[in-house]
Amino acid sequence: MAERQRRTPRQARAESTIDAILDATFQLLEADGATRLTTNHIAERAGVSIGTLYQYFGGKQDILAAVAQRRAAAVRDAIAQTLIDRPEIGSVRAIVRALMNGVEGSPATRQVLFDALFRQSQDGMLAHHHQAFLASIAGRARLEIALTNESAFVLTHAVIGLLRAAAAEPDLGLDPALLEDELVRMMEAYVAALATA
């Protein structure tokens, strides 16, 4: 039996309900962690009925994916704007910083959200973000390098993959400032290599 089609919010009230559900999910993740997160707790914290929650989401994983998508889209848009405003190589640090700080919360929360986003990659969500990023800078960013589809893929996924790994291994005790320096070093070297290719 096919799953019932979820409602798409069309009015400000529906958008407000979605926002409340996503905000409540993030708050509960931070307070109690993923193992204690339930749709009943989310609905209660959001101030909506469980039936209302299920009008928009199929379950907890769908809600987590929506939280992750919303945060990923905000980061993607911030990075695109950085490249449009400051296309020089010096903007690499601003981009790395946006990626590091874009997924807020504790290491455990970030890991849950990274996992939710990567689970959605099977549905083409990461490809969607990649294409949306390229479309948003096309003709607007005057880059010092020529981006191929492959080099753009490396630029948009290398840091994300490493940040996901760092979130998965909090016991390593990685210093955020030093990790930022290393990520910037890696990306600047890659961008410099692209510029001379």
Residue 171: partners with Cβ closer than 8 Å, 6 or more residues away: none
Q: How far apart are CA 140 and CA 75, in angstroms?
A: 18
Is the domain spanning 67-196 CATH 3.30.390? The answer is no
Instruction: Give mean pLDDT, residues 129-156.
Output: 73
| Percent of the chain surpassing pLDDT 70 | 82
* Averaged confidence pLDDT in the chain: 82
Query: Domain-by-domain residue ranges, the chain?
Result: 1-58, 67-196
Count CA atoms within 13 Å of residue 63 on its CB side.
32
Farthest CA pair distance, the chain? 58
pLDDT reading at 48 higher than 60: yes
Residue 19: the pLDDT is 95
Q: Measured in whole angstroms, how far is the alpha carbon of residue 19 from the centre of its chain?
A: 16
At residue 192, the pLDDT reads 85
Cα(188)–Cα(191) distance, integer angstroms: 5
Q: 17: pLDDT confidence band, cut at 50, 70 and 90?
A: very high
Contact 106, 114 (CB under 8 A): no
Mean pLDDT along residues 139-157: 75
- What is the C-alpha separation between 47 and 24, in angstroms, rounded? 9
DSSP character at residue 103: S
Confidence band, pLDDT 50/70/90 cuts, at residue 2: very low
Q: Quick one: which of 2, 25, 3, 183 has its CA closest to 113?
A: 25
Q: Quick one: which of 108, 118, 107, 92 has its CA closest to 182? A: 92
Instruction: Show Cβ contacts of residue 168 under 8 Å, excluding neighbours closer than 6 positions.
Output: 111, 114
Is domain 1-58 in CATH 2.20.25.10, yes or no? no
